[in-house]
Structures are given as C-alpha cells and as structure tokens.
Amino acid sequence: MKKILIPFICFLLSTVITNAQDIKGDWNGVLEVQGTSLRVVFHIDEDENGLITTMDSPDQGAKGLPTDKTTFEKGKLTIEMPALAGRYEGEMKEGNFEGTLTQGPMSMPLTLKREKVKKKVVARPQDPKDFPYHIEDIVIPNEEADLELAGTLTLPKDKKAKKIVILISGSGPQNRDEEIAAFNHRPFLVLSDHLTRQGIGVLRFDDRGVGESTGDHQIATSEDFAGDVNAIIGYIKNRKDLKSLSIGLAGHSEGGMIAPMVAANNKKVDFIVLMAGPGIPSTELMLKQTKDSHKAIGTPDELIEQQMTLNQKTYSFIKDNPEMENEKFKGELEGIISEGVRELPEWMLGGQDLDKAVKQQVAALSSPWFRYFMGYNPAENLKSLNCPVLAINGTLDTQVSAKENLAGIEKALKEGKNTNHKIVALEGLNHMFQKAETGSIIEYKTIEETFNPEALDLISEWIIQL
C-alpha cells in the first residue's frame, strides 16, 4: 500500500501547489505568422471575481485589448477573447506556458514566459553607407497650391548627367525616402542611391504636409499630387544647370498612377517608369486587392466572398455618387457598411467595437482622396502617352496584382499607339519589390531586402539605354 500511497500523495501536493501558484503579472510570447514575428503580452491580474487579463500586441501598436474570461486550473491556463474571436490555451511546464493561440481560422503555437521579449532588429543592408556623389537639399515652390515642397537632389560627383528622374511615392503621407517607419525600410533612398551611382540624377521629395514640406496632405487628391510634380518639373526647367536634362518620372503604386496623369499633359516629361502602378479601374483594383490580401493570410474563401460582397456595394456607391453632398454621402455610406459589417465574424473587426469600426471606415472612404480615387480609370491617361514607358511589377504583389494591371497598362499603351514601351513581371517579388514567399503585407517587415537588385538594375539599364 505504501508504494501506491506515497506517489498518490505527491501527486496531490503537486496539484495543490500548481493551482495555488501566483500567475499574476506579465506573460510574454512571440507568434510566428506567415514568416513574421509578432510579440504578444498578456497582463494577468485578479479582482473579487477571479483572474482578469488584457492583451498587448506591441508590433501592431495595440495595447490593453480586453479579454472575457481567464481560468487557471491544474496547471492549465485558458484566456477567452471573444472580441478577437480568439482563445489561448497553455499548460505550465518548467515555469512557462506552452500552448496555442487560436484566432479566427488560424491556430498558432505560443509559449508564454515571464521574461520580456526583446524586439528583433532586422538589418537593412541595402541602406547606403557612403554617398560618393553630389547631394543638395532643395525647396521647391508650388505657387498654384501655395505650398513648398522640400526634397533632395542627387547628381554624379562631377554634376554631369544626361537624365534626371523625379521619384513619386505611393499612397498615404510619405517622406522623400518613401520610408515605412514601422518596417524600417526606405525604398526611395535605396533606389535614388542606385540610380545616382549609375550617372542618373534623382530628385525625391517629401509629400505635401509631410517632413519639411508644407500644405495639407489630408485634403489633397491624386490630382493635387500631380500638380506638385508639375511644380517640380518647372523647377528643374528653370535651373540653368538642370534645364537641359531629359526628365523622367518614376512612380510607385499611386505614384505609378500620378506619373501618367502628369506625362499625358506635360510634354516636358521624356520618359516614365511605373513600379506597381495601376492599369485597371480603381474599383476593380481594390476588389482584387481585397481578395489577394486575404488569400495571402489564409482567410477562408467563404469569408473572403462576404468581404468582397460588402466592398463591391461600397465601392460602387462611391463611384456612382461623385457629386453627392458630403454629409448625405456619409450617412448613406454608413448604412451600407453597417449592414454589411454585421454579417462578418467579429475577428475580422480586429477587436474593435462595431459602431466605432463603421465610423472609422466611413471617415476614410469619404475623404476627398478616396472619392477621387474610386472614380479613376488609368487607361485614359495611359492612352495619351507618347514617351517611352517601362512598367514593372512583382508576381507576388497582393496590393496591385501584376497580371491584371500590367495587362491593362499594355493594352492602353497599344490602343494609344505607343511604340516604345516595356512590360516586365518580376518573378517572386511583392508590392515593395522584395523577394517574398507569399506577398502578404506582414512579410514586408521581416524581409531584409528593401529593393530587389534585379529590379534596380532593370530600371537603371532601361533609363540609360534611352
């Protein structure tokens, strides 16, 4: 009997000790999602009703996310997160919890430790470490818009160049390096450095209302940004040392939409480079983006179709009502989105209150920029281009799909009888022209490469041969 009783007593003592253990405090872990590391912190405390928990996701800028129920029994921790459609289940082993975090359709292993997880610093080896060329900070007036654009001009060391390229950034407020601060990438710094080393002048600038540029970015449309580029062209043509240079525009994403807008109406543009630029109407572009982005992170097809149905109704309404008074527009848009969002699972709201999520969407989609963008068809300006055009895109781009948009660009150029264009789909590159695995946005941060060398060489070699 003693040989049976002693182990049984030890088991009872172990159970009592484990259940009595104080697990209050911070528990840290790292989720590996599609090749991206995301830190997670659970803050566990206790009140008169039992254990309570909040959650942080530092790399996504989320803090104090609420949870519903936390239990700790027989060494097993369970945290219910209905607002995030999530649940964590872990078992205590050697002072840590080893378990699984489930959110929506995804289940991911997650080990929680007391020790704070240090954020991994990802190297950016392509950032230039020396600058063997002329660098000049400049300020360019846009008198028509009553603002000034601050930028950087780079030229070969002897200041002798035959061509100069104006870099035009993608959507959202961007500085002259097109810096994505959260990802620690500076694509335009890498691109301008590469081009200048090949003997090509480059002018890159802070968007209006960003960095050292004045003006208000929030109320501007793509047409306004095109006006800024025209002001820069005028600046180049008015400088004695630059006016004889052949001028090119290189636009990324929305910049690839703005470049044809400018070149179609400004004969001082001698060539353009479209980097992941749109070639199909904006409504089609955004619907394709919704589908590709969700597929890249594993969203079930049924939920993708629900989101697509909502977006189709939303985008059609915006496109069909360009002149509707803003308050009425917002009211009707809120009704469409509210009805559609209620059909989606809670986890797709990212833990936000439903009404709050709807109002945020309405605010974003009723901005002057978005209303203009939804009515835009790039084919009209592409058909008017007579200058040489290089259009490139990555086959893993989930934001501006290569197949449809490059085909649209090529079709429009041919219809406009443009005889000097080159269309290239770059295998395995994402929207940022990085070598990728899925093309998902969440990969951008973890990829060390800022701008694929093959793409850099393609751009510079094409410009040089003109």
Q: What is the DSSP string of 57-95?
A: EGGGTEEEEE-SEEEEETTEEEEEEGGGTEEEEEEEETT
Per-residue burial over 336-371, b if 16 or more Cβ lie within 10 Å, else e, is bbbebbeeeebbebebeeeeebbeebbeebbeebbb
Task: Summarize pLDDT for 404-461 with one digit per residue, the tens.
Answer: 999 999 999 999 999 999 999 999 999 999 999 999 888 898 899 999 999 999 999 9
Superfamily name with CATH number, domain 22-112: Quinohemoprotein amine dehydrogenase alpha subunit, domain 2 (2.40.128.120)
Sketch the domain layout of the chain as residue ranges.
22-112, 134-281+376-465, 283-341+355-372
- Report the chain's terminal Cα–Cα distance, integer Å: 94
How far apart, in Å, are the Cα atoms of 312 and each of 296, 318, 331, 333, 374?
20, 10, 18, 12, 12
Q: What span, in angstroms and rounded, lies between the C-alpha atoms of 376 and 385?
A: 17
What does the pLDDT profile of the chain (466 residues) look like in tens digits? 333 333 333 333 333 333 435 899 999 998 876 556 788 999 999 888 889 998 888 876 677 888 888 999 988 999 988 666 678 999 999 889 999 888 765 678 999 999 988 766 677 999 999 999 999 999 999 999 999 999 999 999 999 999 999 999 999 999 999 998 778 899 999 999 999 999 999 999 999 999 999 999 989 999 999 999 999 999 999 999 999 999 999 999 999 999 999 999 999 999 999 999 999 999 999 999 989 888 887 888 888 888 888 899 999 999 999 999 999 999 999 999 888 877 766 655 555 567 777 888 888 899 999 999 999 999 999 999 999 999 999 999 999 999 999 999 999 999 999 999 999 999 999 999 999 999 988 889 889 999 999 999 999 999 999 9
CA angle 247, 250, 253 (to 5 degrees): 155
Sheet of 36-47, strands arranged across: 25-33, 36-47, 50-57, 62-66
Do 88 and 101 contact (CB within 8 A), yes or no? yes
Q: How far from chain centre, in Å, is Cα 280?
A: 20
134-281+376-465: what CATH class? alpha beta
Q: What pLDDT sits at residue 84?
A: 66
Alpha helices in 354-433 (DSSP H): 354-365, 368-374, 379-382, 402-415
**236 in Cβ contact with 243 (< 8 Å):** yes
Do the beta carbons of residue 28 and residue 113 sit within 8 Å? yes
Q: How far apart (Å, rounded) are the C-alpha atoms in residues 408 and 403?
A: 9
Look up tokens 């300020």; give the residue. 139
Contact 151, 236 (CB under 8 A): no
Cα angle at 229 between 223 and 234, to 5 degrees? 130
Q: CA nearest 444: which of 70, 91, 181, 266?
A: 181
Establish how many alpha carbons lie within 13 A of residue 132's alpha carbon, considering only the half-sphere containing its beta carbon: 4
Residue 50: CB atoms within 10 Å: 10
Q: Which of 189, 196, 193 is nearest to 156 (CA)?
A: 196
pLDDT at 314: 92
Q: How far apart are CA 415 and CA 219, in angstroms?
A: 34
The two tokens of residue 277 are 């630029």
Same fold, 22-112 and 134-281+376-465: no
Task: Say how far apart CA 454 and CA 198 lie, in whole Å.
Answer: 14
- Helix/strand/coil for 141: strand
